[in-house]
Amino acid sequence: MTSADLRRQLASLTTEAFRPELADIDRLPTLDIARLMNGEDAGVPAAVAARLPQIAAAIDAVAERMSRGGRLVYAGAGTAGRLGVLDASECPPTFNTDPAQVVGLIAGGPDAMVTSVEGAEDSKELARRDLDALKLTEDDTVVGVSASGRTPYAIGAVEHARALGALTIGLACNERSGLAAAAEHGIEVVVGPELVTGSTRLKAGTAQKLVLNMLSTITMIRLGKTYGNLMVDVRASNDKLRARSRRIVSLATGASDAEIEKALTESGGEVKNAILALLAGVDGPTATRLLEESGGHLRAALAHAAR
């Protein structure tokens, strides 16, 4: 593709559109610019809301695959790639997942998290190599993330994953995107032109963050990683998490501090096991067995214990 072709392609994208009414924004008082930016951001949730049916369908498909042991893999370049890595990195401390269960791939590798790696986003082959290193299976899900919906790295990841039988999702911020077309589940959250022309780390980045939050969080809810709205799969591994764990067990059970400490100690700091032990009146090993037999779902384990 020539540079002229690329310019024409970018000019056709909503996310890249120039807004002449904002041409004098640099002359405005700072407070006025802040108000403009805040007003722009306020429309992002509505754009996400318009795609909730597609998002929900994708989540159900992801949860079904992950319940069989599959992984959730994000693949993107630049801001989109960083957002995927961020979401993946938050899953172990929040849901006690194995670090290999939710993975973020960014074009150019880890260095690209803080430094631009020129040309990496333009390579479909790089995406194929990065995915091949993970040894994808049909139980895995690959989510290509790209504001424009035209990034070769994201499209290449989705195309390769789909050819291998993995579930694929394409998250973009333009309609009729190549990324959404390449994926089994296309999600196009159209937020419109940016306050600063082409700076898709703004509204487009916010929209992507909101959708990735939904994909990982609701999938984990479906997998039994919560009890109601409590993070019961958190593991008490530092002072902050130990305090949070005690509070979660208290909210779930109403037990005394001494009972909570005893249950957490006997469960090795596993919150879900401690809650089950307290609510079902069983010992640590029994709680572990009941959870294993219930696929890690606390409500199902409680129902099993009550029989």
pLDDT digits (tens, 9 = 90+) for 93-119: 889 899 999 999 999 998 888 887 767
Supply the mean pLDDT for the chain: 93
Determine, yes or no, domain membership for 120: yes
Say yes or no: 72 and 109 in one domain. yes
- What's the structural domain count of the chain? 2
pLDDT, residue 10, reads 61
Of residues 19 and 206, which shows the higher confidence score? 206
The answer to whether position 280 is within a domain reads yes
Closest CA to 211 of 187, 194, 179: 187
Sign of torsion, CA 222 224 229 232? negative
Q: What is the pLDDT of residue 102?
A: 98
Q: State the residue range of the domain holding 291.
A: 239-305
Q: How far is CA 175 from CA 10, 188, 201, in A?
A: 13, 6, 18
The pLDDT assigned to 46 comes to 97
Question: Does 296 lie in the same domain as 161?
Answer: no
**Could you tell me if residue 66 is inside a domain?**
yes
Where residue 143 falls among pLDDT bands split at 50, 70, 90?
very high
Q: Which residue has the higher pLDDT, 4 or 140?
A: 140
Which amino acid belongs to residue 1? M
pLDDT value of residue 242? 86
Choosing from 222, 254, 270, the residue where a domain stops is 222
Q: Are residues 79 and 217 in the same domain?
A: yes
pLDDT the model gives residue 300? 94
Q: Residues 67-91: pLDDT tens digits?
A: 999 999 999 999 999 999 999 999 9
Give the residue, 121 or 85, on which the prediction is more confident. 85
CA dist., res. 75 & res. 131, Å (int): 9
Question: Comparing C-alpha atoms, which of 91, 93, 122, 89 is closest to residue 108?
Answer: 122
- Per-residue confidence at 128, pLDDT binned at 50, 70, 90? very high
Annotated catalytic sites, by residue? 90, 121
pTM of the model: 0.91
- Examine the fold and report which residue of 193, 222, 251 is the final residue of a domain before the chain moves on: 222
pLDDT number for residue 15? 85
What is the C-alpha separation between 101 and 69, in angstroms, rounded?
A: 8
Confidence check: pLDDT of 269 > 70: yes
pLDDT confidence bin for 165, thresholds 50/70/90 = very high
The domain spanning residue 267 has which CATH number? 1.10.8.1080
Does 159 fall in a domain? yes
Averaged pLDDT for residues 179-192: 98
Return d(Cα 283, Cα 263) in angstroms, integer: 8
Nearby residues of 5 by Cβ (< 8 Å), 6 or more positions away: none
CATH of the domain at 18: 3.40.50.10490
pLDDT of 182 over the 80 cut: yes
